[in-house]
Every structure is written in C-alpha cells, then in structure tokens.
Amino acid sequence: MAPYLLLQREDAGQREHALREVFNGLRYIVKTGAPWRWMPNDLPPWAAVYQQTQRWLAAGCFEALVDDLRAVLRLAAGRKAEPTAAIIDSRTLRSTPESGERAGYDGGKRKKIHMAVDTLGHLLALHVTPASAEDRGEVERLARTVQAVTDDQVEIAWVDQGYTGERAADAAAKHGIALEVVKLPEAKRGFVLLPRRWVVERSFAWATRFRRLVKDYERYAKTLAGLHVVAFACLMMKQAVAIATGS
C-alpha cells in the first residue's frame, strides 16, 4: 500500500520517520481510540503522525486505496469489479467534549454517518452531517459519489423506510439509481433480519471494532469521515492478505 501513501519520494530529505511507522501510529489511534497525545514511545511523535494523517486525508489517499481494494475483493469473490447495486443507510454517533458544539442534535446524539456499500459490504461512499440532517436530503450526495467511484455502474440502491418519498427517489434517479425501500414485516416480533439491509448494518458493526469510531471524538467532520475510510481500508487490506496467503 506504500504507493498510495507516498506523497513525496520515500527517500526525501525532509522525511524523519519511516512511513510504515507513521501509518502504524495512525492505525493505533483508530483501533484503540486513544488520544493523539497518548501515542506510545515506540511509535513516531503524535504530532508527526497527526500532521501526516491530515495530509493523507486531504489528498484522498485512503479513498483511492479502498476503491482498488474493493475491486480486488469483488473479483476474488467471483463478482464484477464494479457493483451494480448498493445499500444506503446512516447511523448516529454520540458527541464528546472534543467534538464541540457544531454537531446538531438528535436526542442525546450529535453526528450522523451516511454510508453506501456494495452487496458484499465494501465501502462505496461516506460523509458526515449534523445529526439533525434528514436521511432523504443526503441521498443525492451519496448517489453522486457512488456513481463517480463505480463509473456509473450502480442501477439500484436498497434503503430503509427513512428514505421513502419522492424527494429521495428523485435525487437518486437524477444519477441513474432506482431506490427500493425494504420495509419491515407488518407483524414484526423481536429481531427481524431484513433482506439486503443487513449488509450495511454489518458494515457499521465492522466500523465499531475501531474504538475511535464508537463516538464522535473529532473536532472536524472531515476528520471523522476520513478515519472511517481508514478503518475500512484496514479491514479490506486484512481480507486481501487472507485471500493472497490462502489463510
């Protein structure tokens, strides 16, 4: 993955720390949820890791890595490189003192993660809004990004009942995607596994394996979104390694 993270030559004179160790520092923060200043002594200084992380996020390095890994994993699973279907959903994160007052309100929660995945659960698009934002209003942004990363291959997206109505359907149709609402059974008793929709719920569950993503610890929404992409890149790299080694 080094080519995705090399914003300058690896032997550049101003590089003081090994790129692998800087990335290990980022992985440590996302996985453990530790504050940046608690970086262990056997990793580069927290300031160096933080500054390089912001450069990576600004350059879209992890988005490019996720896009290529998704194609590799889909081909390994016997699918086409680009999906023709997606699943869209959102989850709300509780705030922390670090996240400030810019988040908006949804009960006692503050930030909302809007995400689209393919039918295998691999990330297609993700962005962050205040928790007060309606799901219907974010469909167009998700659909636009999904089509951009799949070369306009996605034809249908499954959603829950929070996306009903002409507003969401028209927003998706504008980008060539038909929304299909997966409804709860009328006689629901206890937990019900909804067709298609369980895939995106599983992807959200994967993200919560990374403690930094369990709550909103970030001062900026773009950092919160970027760290989610980092987490999915780590998950997908692990799957790719398992396939390559046959384990």
- Tens of pLDDT, residue by residue over 97-128, are 776 555 455 555 578 999 999 999 999 999 99
Q: What mean pLDDT value characterizes the chain?
A: 89
Confidence (pLDDT) at 233: 97
CA distance 235 to 238: 5
Q: Which is nearest to 228 in space by CA: 66, 82, 2, 46?
A: 66
> Mean pLDDT throughout 181-210?
78
- Supply the DSSP symbol for 77: T
CA distance 240 to 126: 21
232, 207 contact by CB (below 8 A): yes
Confidence (pLDDT) at 211: 96
CA distance 2 to 23: 10
- Beta-bridge mates of residue 95: 216
The dihedral over CA atoms of 109, 110, 115, 121, expressed in degrees to the nearest 10, equals: -40
Confidence (pLDDT) at 187: 42
Q: Where are the domains of the chain?
A: 80-219
Specify the CATH number for 80-219; select among 3.30.460.80, 3.20.20.10, 3.30.70.20, 3.30.420.10. 3.30.420.10
CA distance 128 to 183: 25
- Tens of pLDDT, residue by residue over 57-73, are 999 999 999 999 999 99
pTM (whole model) above 0.75: yes
User: What's at 196, amino acid-wise?
Assistant: R
Q: Where are the alpha helices (DSSP H) in 77-165?
A: 139-150
User: What's at 35, amino acid-wise?
Assistant: P
Confidence (pLDDT) at 2: 82
CA distance 153 to 84: 5
CA distance 161 to 186: 13
> Mean pLDDT throughout 12-33?
89
Q: What is the number of other CB atoms lying within 10 angstroms of the CB of residue 108?
A: 9
